[in-house]
Structure 1
């Protein structure tokens, strides 16, 4: 990226919580924590200090299908950054005392998520949608499942997740490709193949259902989900546009109808999450308990409205918004590095801005309407409501409004 004085380096494994069985739920996230406690002869403190001394910062994140380790640094920090990330991934200390402490830390993270209604409601909806499957379990796992780990079992899990066949090394910013290749060979060229615990993720099935929990809160938190498509599906950009028009911004249908016209919610939006083989179309809202039932009926009506082809102006505006968001992200070195790694893990190659724009522009109103019918055709949904008891009836009301029409 010409003109930048900084570099972003990502080492991304195409493995995450989706690859866990129930007994190992949360192990990938705990592992991501543990490698920072010491690696390659450096202590937890020195790992951070050596990066910050070069004007950089280090971070990591665990998802359902990926685990990412990231460094942002001044342009001369690429060499050190690569060496440190290689140590984290291949040579963590896995000290027993550190593991005991980190289990406590993650237990507090689990408790914090349970205490945050706008976090918990998404976990509840995910569980309702994919109950009994890895995608239906929280990425953090549970105190019971992470409590069974030992330094040896967690290190075996590390070897399974971070094998050479699942890793992508990606950099953006002030980086020279030839220099990066040299560092990749130096620091990762001897990486051993995955251990015997490695396995492919089982196909996911959206089963649907409801989760309704009464809690003394000022407002109801609502998440509504419908089964969607995977990231490799030909209708992927039609899904992105559908979510944008449904609830992606202030001009969206949900915002205008639920907030501007009816005053039912301060925050309401639609989104999509896509995995390798499946996905969800979701709506989130926070509202008064007395308005929850009406709000889900409005959401159902607006979703059903997407089965009728949209007008040219609405589709054009959604395309501009989607491309704007995608391209603004490309102006961040870390975002570009992460997206490039994701492209390689998903498609086997990177996608140019021009290719993405062409895919977005190729979507027609008929494509979006056809996809809306496709999403509704299984007659399956999931809903989670967390808040005052009077709001709980909104969970089953969503399915009724969508599928039990006269």
Structure 2
């Protein structure tokens, strides 16, 4: 998706930049009594080398053990005493800290998040315990089939690249972190140039700017991690027998990134394939053939690359037939969709985007993402125009480009009988 040209007049929130590079955006929503504050760093697990795999996620855990003079309990009690909630999330290219609170809780929420991001305690005993907790999280993910199958697919898609490693890391990689090395990693990951302070809901721009200056104005720049290596879709099969009642399948194909002009075409392609109950995969695989209870298509995008994916759960004996059906529906996208189907997909996509904008936290997070990608916040009308500009020929061209690479990932987790699905998908799609 390329950034649309700036307009002379805009209703989108303005972006302000502090002297040290921290960017600030405020998006008031009249009539609300609550506020959402999201502080987003434009770096995450993708910035890690193999030796530091999982450190960004471990760091996110560690800052909640105490920061800025508050204990771990003191952090959450301070927010909850104001009727608020605090959370955080680590992704491949973003790390986000969020507070939802009553409108008078913005001052405290900003101070607490700033302490987490800039002044965590990093106690050695806390780190030792948190490594155990993350180790349990890694083990839990390995025991959850619908988590593990996605990890298997991701590792095949981007083998040898940080995007192909689990965000959680491994017990061995997180074991090497010390308070000192993790603190240095914090400085690199959360340096001022990568931070966006974004507020939405019952907020005023002057207040948000004053709090951002107070809480982040003195943040010092640190040496950033090395530039992210370009990512390329590798592909491969990951048939993994496991004693389960059902087969879990993830099918991936190489696609475009968030900044590519075909970004919205990719979103619509996934919507038509498996975005809802009227989608092609749901109707063909579930309604007509009864091959799967759950099946959907999706896209996952990063700055420079992405994937088109299908997830399904089915009986082991149906797995091979199910992937053949999926291959047929994907190949069928090389024929232009009719106007009614395309219009329905556009309505669904715009509906999901605009419904998210009615939630303050989603709105704050979306604004921060826009700032990190484009340097400004895009208006809803701009987003709608990008969706509406996609025509049927764009979907045909994108599908042909995807299939021309003749690369795919098939991750299968389940009974041995389902392992036949791995070669069946590639044969059905590529011959």
Give the TM-score of the pair, scaled to structure 1. 0.99
Give the Cα separation in 2 of the matches to 1:209 and 1:194: 38
Runs of 4 or more above 2 Å deviation: none
Partner of 1:234: 261
Partner of 2:383: 356
Give the Cα separation in 1 of the matches to 2:356 and 2:426: 35
Q: Shift of the alpha carbon at 1:178? A: 1.0
The count of residues paired between Structure 1 and Structure 2 equals: 403
| Unaligned ranges ≥5, structure 2 | 1-28
Give the Cα separation in 1 of the matches to 2:225 and 2:411: 33
Residue in structure 2 matching 1:162, options 190, 210, 214: 190
CA deviation string 1:296-346 (max 9, x = no partner): 000000000011110000000000000011110000000000011011111
Give the Cα separation in 1 of the matches to 2:422 and 2:142: 19
Q: Describe how 1:92-241 pairs up with structure 2 within 5 A.
A: 92-195=120-223, 198-241=225-268
| Unaligned ranges ≥5, structure 1 | none
Asked if residue 289 in structure 1 is aligned to residue 316 in structure 2, the reply is yes
| 3-state DSSP of counterpart to 2:424 | helix
RMSD of Structure 2 on Structure 1 (CA): 0.6
Asked if residue 396 in structure 1 is aligned to residue 417 in structure 2, the reply is no
Asked if residue 246 in structure 1 is aligned to residue 273 in structure 2, the reply is yes
Residue in structure 1 matching 2:398, options 371, 374, 386: 371
| 3-state DSSP of counterpart to 1:263 | coil
Residue in structure 2 matching 1:69, options 56, 81, 97: 97
Give the Cα separation in 1 of the matches to 2:217 and 2:334: 51
Residue in structure 1 matching 2:373, options 320, 334, 346: 346
Partner of 1:262: 289
Asked if residue 382 in structure 1 is aligned to residue 399 in structure 2, the reply is no
Give the TM-score of the pair, scaled to structure 2. 0.93
Partner of 2:4: none
Q: Shift of the alpha carbon at 1:194? A: 2.3
Partner of 1:87: 115
Residue in structure 2 matching 1:41, options 49, 54, 69: 69
CA deviation string 1:52-92 (max 9, x = no partner): 00000100000000000000000011111111011001110
Give the Cα separation in 2 of the matches to 1:14 and 1:340: 13
Q: Shift of the alpha carbon at 1:368? A: 0.9
Q: Shift of the alpha carbon at 1:393? A: 1.5
Give the Cα separation in 1 of the matches to 2:359 and 2:314: 34
Give the Cα separation in 1 of the matches to 2:340 and 2:176: 56
| 3-state DSSP of counterpart to 1:379 | coil
Give the Cα separation in 2 of the matches to 1:383 and 1:137: 17
| 3-state DSSP of counterpart to 1:355 | helix
| 3-state DSSP of counterpart to 2:328 | helix
Give the Cα separation in 2 of the matches to 1:237 and 1:205: 20
Asked if residue 323 in structure 1 is aligned to residue 350 in structure 2, the reply is yes
